[in-house]
Amino acid sequence: MALITLFSILFFMLMASSSNAYWPPSPDYRPSSKFRPVNFYRGFNNLWGPQHQSIDQNALTIWLDSSSGSGFKSNRPFRSGYFGASIKLHPGYTAGVITAFYLSNNEAHPGFHDEVDIEFLGTTFGKPYTLQTNVYIRGSGDGTIIGREMKFHLWFDPTQNFHHYAILWSPKEIIFLVDDIPIRRYPRKSAETFPLRPIWLYGSIWDASSWATEDGKYKADYRYQPFVAKYTNFRAGGCSAYASRRCRPVSASPYRSGGLTRRQYWAMRWVQKYHMVYNYCQDPKRDHRLTPECWG
């Protein structure tokens, strides 16, 4: 028992020494490396705003101006998988502007859809972007909104370079990752609080002035247009909706059964300690009878 206790102390001392308050500890596993890059033309189609979209050597640029934004969608639906892209955001004043990379079946189930979001909420001069993760189940994003938001300020400037953002969705869990570092794990606690129907991958840039920046206090200002988002290094893999039932769901860790390693949990807790700015489960203004997954 003493040896086990000593080992645990040494392990966490090692973890603490490998990180600081500025950069997360290494998760020691890179799920993005397990999936091949996807050519945009082979994996996706323009959904709207084709005149606000361009491709250069498999790097996609989409932009928003006063006339339109733009969006794209995967060619096929999935029932589980890993979905990632390297994204570079627009600098300066971007209040009211949403740059998104997300899963949805809204077109298949209008008014009663599922959605898993990575959204970058635009900002004003001198303030950081907010990365918002969110999960909607069976219409909780339609009509009366029941969001499951966790928000973060990143430990780097997402306008300076490309960084890789990903969603891993399996029948057991949803894991959000930034540069292969898990920032949030949303486990399946019941069928009522977890998306299980086939879903497509989307990306977009659009005007959400009514709520995006400080609850709509700051609006999109088209004196600073165009607002540009760049996507590259698309990676997607898993079980399509048409795959055999023998197709195995992917994992964010070396464990085929899913979950995270101890190092990955450590990195995720570091991010949540130093960079999480909102957790819906900790919001006393929310009616948590509508979010029973917060109870456990």
Q: Check 107, 119, 149, 293 and give the catalytic one.
A: 119
Helices (H), 38-193: 40-43
C-alpha dihedral, 38 to 42 to 43 to 49, nearest 10°: 120
CA-CA-CA-CA dihedral for 42, 39, 43, 164, to nearest 10: 180
Strands (E), the chain: 44-48, 53-56, 59-64, 70-74, 78-88, 97-104, 115-121, 130-136, 150-152, 163-169, 173-178, 181-187, 200-207, 227-240, 276-279
Q: Which of 31, 29, 58 is closest to 43 using CA atoms?
A: 58
Sign, Cα dihedral of 174, 177, 181, 182: negative
240, 294, 216, 204: CA torsion to nearest 10: -10
Q: What residues contact residue 134 under an 8 Å CB cut-off, 6+ apart?
A: 115, 116, 117, 119, 147, 148, 149, 150
User: Which is the catalytic residue, given 115, 149, 214, 293?
Assistant: 115
Which tokens go with 70? Answer: 């733009």
Please confirm, yes or no, whether 119 is among the known catalytic residues: yes
Q: Tokens 């909780």 belong to which residue?
A: 140
Q: Which residues contact 133 (CB under 8 A, 6 or more apart)?
A: 117, 118, 119, 149, 150, 151, 152, 176, 183, 184
DSSP structural state of residue 23: S
User: What is the set of active-site residues?
Assistant: 115, 119
